[in-house]
Amino acid sequence: MLTGTYPDKWNKVPVAVKKFILRAVIILVAWKILYLVFLLPSRVVDKPLSHAVAGGAAWTLNKFTHSTNYSDKSEDGKVITDYGLTTMPLDNIYFRDDNVVSIEDPCNGLELFVLYAGFIICMPALIQRKVIFIVGGILLIHVINVLRCAGITYVTLYYPGNADFAHHYVFTFIVYAFIMGLWLIFSKKLNLVNAKTE
Protein backbone atom coordinates (compact mmCIF):
# COMPACT_ATOMS: atom_id res chain seq x y z
CA MET A 1 0.00 0.00 0.00
CA LEU A 2 2.87 2.38 0.80
CA THR A 3 4.62 1.73 -2.52
CA GLY A 4 1.66 3.09 -4.45
CA THR A 5 1.85 6.45 -2.70
CA TYR A 6 5.39 7.37 -3.82
CA PRO A 7 4.65 7.48 -7.57
CA ASP A 8 1.51 9.49 -6.80
CA LYS A 9 3.52 11.99 -4.78
CA TRP A 10 6.19 12.21 -7.49
CA ASN A 11 3.51 12.91 -10.13
CA LYS A 12 2.28 15.86 -8.05
CA VAL A 13 5.73 17.47 -7.96
CA PRO A 14 5.94 20.46 -10.35
CA VAL A 15 7.85 19.78 -13.59
CA ALA A 16 10.49 22.46 -12.82
CA VAL A 17 11.25 20.80 -9.47
CA LYS A 18 11.49 17.35 -11.10
CA LYS A 19 13.96 18.70 -13.66
CA PHE A 20 16.02 20.30 -10.88
CA ILE A 21 16.13 17.07 -8.86
CA LEU A 22 17.01 14.88 -11.86
CA ARG A 23 19.77 17.26 -13.00
CA ALA A 24 21.14 17.41 -9.46
CA VAL A 25 21.27 13.60 -9.17
CA ILE A 26 22.95 13.25 -12.60
CA ILE A 27 25.53 15.94 -11.76
CA LEU A 28 26.24 14.39 -8.35
CA VAL A 29 26.74 10.87 -9.73
CA ALA A 30 28.81 12.09 -12.70
CA TRP A 31 31.00 14.27 -10.45
CA LYS A 32 31.64 11.49 -7.92
CA ILE A 33 32.61 9.03 -10.66
CA LEU A 34 34.85 11.60 -12.38
CA TYR A 35 36.49 12.65 -9.12
CA LEU A 36 36.94 9.28 -7.42
CA VAL A 37 38.05 7.37 -10.54
CA PHE A 38 40.13 9.94 -12.42
CA LEU A 39 40.86 13.16 -10.50
CA LEU A 40 41.51 11.94 -6.94
CA PRO A 41 44.23 9.34 -7.73
CA SER A 42 46.20 11.70 -9.99
CA ARG A 43 45.54 14.90 -7.98
CA VAL A 44 45.53 16.67 -11.34
CA VAL A 45 43.16 19.34 -9.98
CA ASP A 46 43.73 19.04 -6.22
CA LYS A 47 47.51 19.51 -6.33
CA PRO A 48 47.61 22.93 -8.06
CA LEU A 49 44.47 24.11 -6.28
CA SER A 50 45.75 23.22 -2.78
CA HIS A 51 49.06 24.87 -3.63
CA ALA A 52 47.27 28.00 -4.88
CA VAL A 53 45.22 28.24 -1.67
CA ALA A 54 48.29 27.87 0.57
CA GLY A 55 50.34 30.29 -1.54
CA GLY A 56 47.49 32.79 -1.63
CA ALA A 57 47.00 32.57 2.14
CA ALA A 58 50.73 33.11 2.81
CA TRP A 59 50.81 36.05 0.36
CA THR A 60 47.70 37.57 2.00
CA LEU A 61 49.19 37.24 5.48
CA ASN A 62 52.45 38.85 4.34
CA LYS A 63 50.54 41.75 2.77
CA PHE A 64 48.28 42.39 5.75
CA THR A 65 51.04 42.03 8.35
CA HIS A 66 53.65 43.93 6.25
CA SER A 67 56.15 41.10 6.62
CA THR A 68 57.82 38.27 4.78
CA ASN A 69 57.47 35.79 7.63
CA TYR A 70 54.77 33.64 6.02
CA SER A 71 55.51 31.06 3.35
CA ASP A 72 54.00 27.91 1.90
CA LYS A 73 55.54 24.56 1.15
CA SER A 74 54.21 21.38 -0.47
CA GLU A 75 55.32 18.29 1.43
CA ASP A 76 54.10 14.93 2.67
CA GLY A 77 52.81 14.83 6.21
CA LYS A 78 51.13 12.57 8.75
CA VAL A 79 47.37 13.03 9.13
CA ILE A 80 44.93 11.23 11.42
CA THR A 81 42.01 9.83 9.40
CA ASP A 82 39.18 7.38 10.08
CA TYR A 83 41.64 4.63 9.09
CA GLY A 84 44.43 5.73 11.44
CA LEU A 85 47.63 7.66 10.86
CA THR A 86 48.18 8.21 7.13
CA THR A 87 50.86 9.96 5.11
CA MET A 88 49.43 12.31 2.51
CA PRO A 89 50.47 15.33 0.46
CA LEU A 90 49.89 18.62 2.26
CA ASP A 91 50.38 22.27 1.49
CA ASN A 92 51.66 23.86 4.66
CA ILE A 93 51.64 27.48 5.71
CA TYR A 94 54.71 28.43 7.71
CA PHE A 95 55.42 31.34 10.02
CA ARG A 96 59.20 31.63 9.87
CA ASP A 97 60.27 28.00 10.42
CA ASP A 98 57.09 26.81 12.17
CA ASN A 99 54.35 24.94 10.34
CA VAL A 100 51.15 26.66 11.50
CA VAL A 101 48.44 25.20 9.25
CA SER A 102 48.30 22.25 6.86
CA ILE A 103 45.89 22.39 3.94
CA GLU A 104 44.61 19.00 2.87
CA ASP A 105 42.96 18.53 -0.52
CA PRO A 106 39.40 18.52 0.92
CA CYS A 107 40.05 22.09 2.15
CA ASN A 108 41.06 23.51 -1.23
CA GLY A 109 37.51 24.48 -2.22
CA LEU A 110 37.04 22.08 -5.14
CA GLU A 111 33.91 20.50 -3.63
CA LEU A 112 32.53 24.00 -2.98
CA PHE A 113 33.08 24.92 -6.64
CA VAL A 114 31.17 21.83 -7.78
CA LEU A 115 28.37 22.36 -5.25
CA TYR A 116 27.99 26.00 -6.25
CA ALA A 117 28.18 25.36 -10.01
CA GLY A 118 25.92 22.31 -9.79
CA PHE A 119 23.12 24.34 -8.22
CA ILE A 120 23.35 26.96 -10.95
CA ILE A 121 23.46 24.34 -13.72
CA CYS A 122 20.29 22.76 -12.31
CA MET A 123 18.37 26.06 -12.28
CA PRO A 124 16.43 27.16 -15.37
CA ALA A 125 18.24 30.20 -16.76
CA LEU A 126 19.98 31.47 -19.88
CA ILE A 127 23.35 29.85 -20.58
CA GLN A 128 25.14 33.23 -20.63
CA ARG A 129 23.84 34.04 -17.16
CA LYS A 130 24.90 30.62 -15.88
CA VAL A 131 28.40 30.96 -17.34
CA ILE A 132 28.89 34.44 -15.86
CA PHE A 133 27.74 33.34 -12.41
CA ILE A 134 29.68 30.06 -12.47
CA VAL A 135 33.00 31.56 -13.57
CA GLY A 136 32.68 34.72 -11.46
CA GLY A 137 31.34 32.81 -8.46
CA ILE A 138 34.11 30.19 -8.51
CA LEU A 139 36.76 32.91 -8.62
CA LEU A 140 35.11 34.70 -5.68
CA ILE A 141 34.73 31.47 -3.70
CA HIS A 142 38.44 30.76 -4.28
CA VAL A 143 39.32 34.21 -2.92
CA ILE A 144 37.04 33.68 0.10
CA ASN A 145 38.67 30.29 0.74
CA VAL A 146 42.15 31.82 0.55
CA LEU A 147 41.05 34.48 3.07
CA ARG A 148 39.53 31.73 5.24
CA CYS A 149 42.83 29.81 5.31
CA ALA A 150 44.76 33.02 6.02
CA GLY A 151 42.34 33.77 8.87
CA ILE A 152 42.67 30.27 10.30
CA THR A 153 46.46 30.59 10.17
CA TYR A 154 46.39 33.96 11.93
CA VAL A 155 43.99 32.73 14.64
CA THR A 156 46.00 29.51 15.12
CA LEU A 157 49.21 31.50 15.52
CA TYR A 158 47.98 34.29 17.81
CA TYR A 159 44.81 32.89 19.43
CA PRO A 160 45.38 29.11 19.53
CA GLY A 161 42.59 28.55 22.05
CA ASN A 162 40.05 29.78 19.49
CA ALA A 163 41.55 28.05 16.44
CA ASP A 164 39.36 24.96 16.44
CA PHE A 165 36.13 26.96 16.86
CA ALA A 166 37.20 29.46 14.18
CA HIS A 167 38.13 26.68 11.77
CA HIS A 168 35.07 24.47 12.18
CA TYR A 169 32.39 27.10 12.76
CA VAL A 170 33.19 30.77 12.16
CA PHE A 171 35.09 30.58 8.88
CA THR A 172 32.98 27.69 7.58
CA PHE A 173 29.81 29.69 8.25
CA ILE A 174 31.25 32.70 6.41
CA VAL A 175 32.11 30.63 3.32
CA TYR A 176 28.71 28.90 3.15
CA ALA A 177 26.87 32.17 3.83
CA PHE A 178 28.79 33.74 0.94
CA ILE A 179 27.82 30.87 -1.39
CA MET A 180 24.18 31.13 -0.30
CA GLY A 181 24.33 34.86 -1.03
CA LEU A 182 25.61 34.18 -4.56
CA TRP A 183 22.82 31.65 -5.11
CA LEU A 184 20.21 34.16 -3.91
CA ILE A 185 21.56 36.83 -6.25
CA PHE A 186 21.50 34.34 -9.14
CA SER A 187 17.96 33.17 -8.33
CA LYS A 188 16.52 36.62 -7.71
CA LYS A 189 15.56 37.42 -11.32
CA LEU A 190 14.59 33.92 -12.40
CA ASN A 191 11.03 33.20 -13.45
CA LEU A 192 10.78 29.57 -12.43
CA VAL A 193 7.42 29.09 -14.12
CA ASN A 194 8.22 30.43 -17.60
CA ALA A 195 12.01 30.38 -17.51
CA LYS A 196 13.84 30.26 -20.84
CA THR A 197 16.57 27.71 -20.43
CA GLU A 198 19.43 26.34 -22.47
Q: Note the pLDDT tens digit of each residue in 105-129.
A: 999 999 999 999 999 999 988 999 9
pLDDT above 50 for 184: yes
- Assign residue 96 a region (left: φ > 0; alpha: ψ between -120 and 50; beta: otherwise): left
Instruction: Tell me the average pLDDT across 61-68.
Output: 95
pTM of structure: 0.87
Please report, for the chain, the start and end positions of each structural domain, with discontinuous segments joined by +. 34-188
Closest CA to 104 of 46, 60, 152: 46
Provide the pLDDT for residue 192. Answer: 53
Instruction: Tell me the average pLDDT across 2-25.
Output: 79
CB 91 within 8 A of CB 107: no
Q: Note the pLDDT tens digit of each residue in 68-106.
A: 999 999 998 887 777 778 888 999 999 999 999 999 999
Instruction: Tell me the average pLDDT across 151-178.
Output: 94
DSSP string, the chain: -HHHHHHHHHHHS-HHHHHHHHHHHHHHHHHHHIIIIIIHHHTTTHHHHHHHHHHHHHHHHHHHHTSS-EEEEEEEEEEEETTEEEEEEEEEEEETTEEEEEE-GGGSSHHHHHHHHHHHHHS---HHHHHHHHHHHHHHHHHHHHHHHHHHHHHHHH-GGGHHHIIIIIHHHHHHHHHHHHHHHHHHT--SSS----
